[in-house]
Amino acid sequence: METDDGLGLSPRKVEYLKYIYETGVTVKTSRIADRFGVDPSTVTKTVDELARSGLLIHEPYHGVRFSESGREYAEFLLKRHRILSLVFTRSGLSGDEACREVSRFESLVSRSAVDRICRAMGHPSLGVCGEITHGTCGLDHDRHGS
Ligand SMILES: [Zn+2]
Ligand SMILES: [Zn+2]
């Protein structure tokens, strides 16, 4: 899949997916439009692109929800955001500053880099803005290895 390395999506799509993940099971496109201050038709266009790439399921008049692979991918997006934010807070930024700064560039950081940073940090379970899951970063391997 184009998103395997974590680099396939635009910053806007990343923000949408993180928002949907944190908001509920099925989220109306009008709610996404309100949250990001954009026209509902713009949201519809973007979520339909995400649906075509298999990450979301869009039921018109009902809302959008994740496919199985989409949910897993969103977990990675949140982990990436929170691991990178921790790097910043450990370097002197406040939590709010870290979240804001990281949101500007997180979509450019690859999955393998995030997994290695996560490992080097000892797989922290709590980020500045929520929990961090480790399904994809070899935590089990570290536990059973060496
Ligand atoms: Zn954050
Ligand atoms: Zn980890």
CA distances from 113 to 68, 79, 109, 119, 128 (A): 24, 12, 7, 10, 19
What is the rounded CA–CA span in Å between residue 37 and residue 7? Answer: 25
Q: Count other Cβ atoms within 10 Å, centred on residue 32.
A: 23
Distance 50 CA to ligand 2 centre (A): 26
pLDDT digits (tens, 9 = 90+) for 54-82: 999 999 889 999 999 999 999 999 999 99
pLDDT digits (tens, 9 = 90+) for 2-13: 456 778 788 899
Distance 101 CA to ligand 1 centre (A): 9
- Do 112 and 80 meet the contact criterion of CB atoms below 8 Å apart? no
Ligand of minimum distance to the alpha carbon of 77: 1
Q: Report residue 35's pLDDT band, with 50, 70 and 90 as the boundaries.
A: very high
Distance 146 CA to ligand 1 centre (A): 33
- Domains of the chain, earliest start first: 11-67 (1.10.10.10), 71-137 (1.10.10.10)
